[in-house]
Amino acid sequence: MKRYIFILFTFCFSATSMLAQLDSIQNLDEVVVVDTKLTKYSEGFKVKSISDSLTSRNNTSLTDVLRFNSSIYFKENGYGMVSSPSFRGTNASQTAVIWNGISINSSLNGQTDFNIIVPNAADQITIRSGGGSVQYGSGAIGGSVHLNNTISFRKAQRNELELSYGSYEASKFNFKSITSNKHLYSSVNVNYINSINDYKYINKELKNENGAFQKLNVGYNFGARFSNHILTWNSNYFYGDRDFSSTITAPSNNNYKDVTTRNLLTWTMNSNQFISKVKGAHLFERYRYFPDKDNLQFSEGKTNTYIADYSLDYFASEKLKFNATLNYTFIEGKGSNIGSNQRNTLSAIILMKHKVSSKLSYGVNVRQEFLNEFENPLLVSLDGKYQLQPWYAIKTNASRNYRVPTFNDLYWDAGGNIDLKPETSIQAEIGNVFNFSDWELSLNGFYIDSKDLISWRPNETGLWQPINIAETENYGLEFSSEFSKRINQHALSLLMSYSYTKAINKEKNKQLLYVPFHKATGLLQYQYKNISFNYQLLYNGEVFTTTDNIGIVEDYLVSNLGLEYQLNTNKTPITLGGNINNLFNIYYENVAYRPMPDRNIQIFINFKF
């Protein structure tokens, strides 16, 4: 292992030193985004950014933000509990969450719980649909969600404080401070959320018991610019303490505590034709599960991930550019049920983008991994964009993607299977994008064929064990529309999305569990002078809860209403607002026997100074 790290860093610093000798120096950007693969090498992919205004309306968790503003479906075990995404019908471990260019999916179960991600901790939230294993590694099959922090070398001094309180004794505190000039950047954000979460079940003499949660998130970002170099540091700490709520049929006294830390150091050197980046990162996660919170006994698991990464962008011309990346990742996992295990992975990635003309561009991307104990497939991704008219473009992409087994899959006590193979998939997509002055439309069709999917099943002795058996076929359509218009002091916007997803288990020829055929979202916003109004709508079609497609969770339609007022002050802009969630008090379940909240309110005040 040490030999590979030495080779990697020798190559990094040799290349960087060589670049430093070039005479012609490129002007440095005032705004730095660490995840340049997303911005520069995704031309043929559907990429959607979530605006700050959308984030602020559903800022309790990333689940709330994306549930109402994307086609991703979330399986949530009661409000605030574990939340698992289904992106284009894939499972939770086939959706990658990328933090400043680094995958943060758990090495223990391969997933990210979207209820432990605080959206205000990110400056940009972006959804990239389609396969991304070439750029981002294991798990990016259905798509990826990107959480980026930007570094801006513009003179600024900004502070923001938001306080809110609502039903179920839910309170939130959010503070963010930014200080920057042309050489230095520093930002800190602190988020705290707490709720008893004891909502009543509509039309039932029950309430959500043992559902309290609290979470603390602290983030810090630093940047320094000198000569033709930029040094950045991104850091994030999260602590969560949740009781796992009861169902209609079974009480619960569980508790779950988790801690995650993320640190990323990046050194960027710019020259006339090259951009060189050296990254070092450390990710830590630990959980403790208490079957009975009144008892001190618990099970736990933790991982430490160390990443060394070197990338080189080469601009052969204004129309042709390349990126070559070497990445070494070492993961050490320990737990009550998995023992102590390690994994080493060395990855070589080459990306190419060619702008043939003002109308046509395409990309070719390749990834090969080494060292780990699996037979690693060669991953290839192709994408392109053709601008037929100023108002109409076609995007297309195709890729081979994969997911390696998790530590739980391989080493779980009395059930793990060390003979598992990586899951693989082939996917293709074509998209149509229409852009008019006030209106943007997109229509995408996708197809995903996956094999060797890992499925936990009872063996001949009755012991549950993971095996490579499942094969699935996913296909569907996604439609989205954004309209905005401003006339004098009136501003109106309308956002809509609809997705149809067919996700078939080939063995049974049945729809996969908890994958709705239909999902739709809508948002109407109106602003006049200092007053703004918004109305959100979410429709989730029925989902199946059994493999024979007999058990179902019924479809539901819920809506939220929001109102904001901006006070006219000279020095400190103040915004007062409130939201009514589940406006029409609809009874609905997201997971069987786990009702979601009744009508509830939230009020807030926001200061900017």
pLDDT tens sequence across 50-90: 988 888 877 789 999 999 999 999 999 999 999 999 999 99
Is the Cβ–Cβ distance between 182 and 155 less than 8 Å? yes
pLDDT given for residue 17 in this prediction: 43
* Cα–Cα distance for residue pair 308/371, rounded to 1 Å: 15
Location of structure tokens 């020259």: 271
Question: Under a CB-based contact definition with an 8 Å cutoff, are residues 497 and 518 in contact?
Answer: no
For residue range 416-432, list pLDDT tens digits in order: 999 999 999 999 999 99
The closest of 535, 433, 533, 519 to 481, measured between CA atoms, is 433
Number of H-type helices and E-type strands within the chain: 6, 36
Inter-residue contact 556 to 540 (CB < 8 Å): yes
How far is Cα 332 from Cα 264, in angstroms, rounded to an integer?
18
Element (H, E) at 103: strand 102-103
- Residue 47 scores a pLDDT above 60: yes
Instruction: Grade residue 371 by pLDDT with cuts at 50, 70 and 90.
Output: confident
pLDDT band at 572 (very low <50, low <70, confident <90, very high): confident
Q: Read off the amino acid at residue 107.
A: S
CA nearest to 96, candidates 147, 47, 48: 147
State the Cα–Cα distance between residues 581 and 604, nearest whole angstrom.
14
What span, in angstroms and rounded, lies between the C-alpha atoms of 336 and 355? 52
Confidence of residue 103 (pLDDT cuts 50, 70, 90): very high
Tokens read off for 452: 């060797």
> CA 83 to CA 95: how far, in whole Å?
12
Separation of alpha carbons 286 and 185, rounded Å: 31
Provide the token pair at 523.
């948002």
Please give the torsion angle defined by the CA atoms of residues 351, 357, 361 and 363, in that order, rounded to the nearest 10 degrees: -20
pLDDT in tens, 230-249: 999 999 999 999 999 999 99
CA 312/CA 22 separation, integer angstroms: 15
DSSP 207: B
Read off the tokens for 564.
Answer: 């904001």
Q: What angle do CA 50, 52, 57 make, to 5 degrees?
A: 95
Q: Residues 226, 136, 237, CA angle at the centre, nearest 5°?
A: 65
Please determine, for residue 289, whether its predicted confidence score (pLDDT) is greater than 50: yes
Q: Sorting pLDDT into bands at 50, 70 and 90, what band is 485?
A: very high
H/E stretch holding 326 reads: strand 320-335
Determine the pLDDT at residue 457.
82
Domain count, the chain: 1
What per-residue confidence (pLDDT) applies to 29? Answer: 60
pLDDT in tens, 450-465: 999 998 888 778 888 9
Cross-strand bridge partners of residue 164:
172, 604
* The amino acid at 188: V
* Rounded-to-integer distance, Cα 355 and Cα 317, Å: 10
pTM, full prediction:
0.93
CA dihedral 431, 435, 438, 441 (to 10 degrees): -20
Element (H, E) at 40: helix 36-40
Q: What angle (nearest 5°) sits at the alpha carbon of residue 166, between those of residues 163 and 171?
A: 45
The rounded mean pLDDT for the chain is: 92
CA-CA distance, 579 to 591, in Å (whole number)?
A: 24
Considering only CA atoms, which of 328, 330, 343, 345 is closest in space to residue 411? Answer: 343
Residue 405 reports pLDDT greater than 60: yes
pLDDT at 8: 47
Bridge pairing between strands 531-540 and 518-528: antiparallel
| Residue-wise pLDDT tens digits, 141-172 | 999 999 999 999 999 999 999 999 999 999 99
How many other CB atoms are found less than 10 A from the CB of residue 240? Answer: 21
Banded pLDDT at 23 (limits 50, 70, 90): very low
- CATH code: domain of residue 280: 2.40.170.20
Residue by residue, DSSP assigns 246-275 as: P-SS----EEEEEEEEEEEEEEEEE-SSEE
In tens, the pLDDT along 517-535 reads: 999 999 999 999 999 999 9
| Mean pLDDT, range 310-333, rounded to an integer | 96
Q: Is the separation of the CB atoms in 19 and 324 below 8 Å?
A: no
CA distances from 441 to 67, 385, 580 (A): 20, 16, 29
Tokens for 151?
């570094």
CA gap 273, 322 in Å, rounded: 10
Return the percentage of the chain with pLDDT > 90, whole number.
85
Q: What is the pLDDT of residue 28?
A: 53
pLDDT, tens only, 528-571 = 999 999 999 999 999 999 999 999 999 999 999 999 999 977 77
Mean pLDDT value of segment 575-583: 97
Q: Is the pLDDT of residue 318 over 80?
A: yes
Coil, strand or helix at 548: coil
**Cα 534 to Cα 528: distance, rounded to the nearest angstrom:** 12
Q: For position 57, what pLDDT does the model report?
A: 77
**What is the span of the domain harbouring residue 585?**
2-608
Question: Scanning the structure block, which residue is given the tokens 């205004």?
Answer: 53
CB atoms within 10 A of CB 545: 16
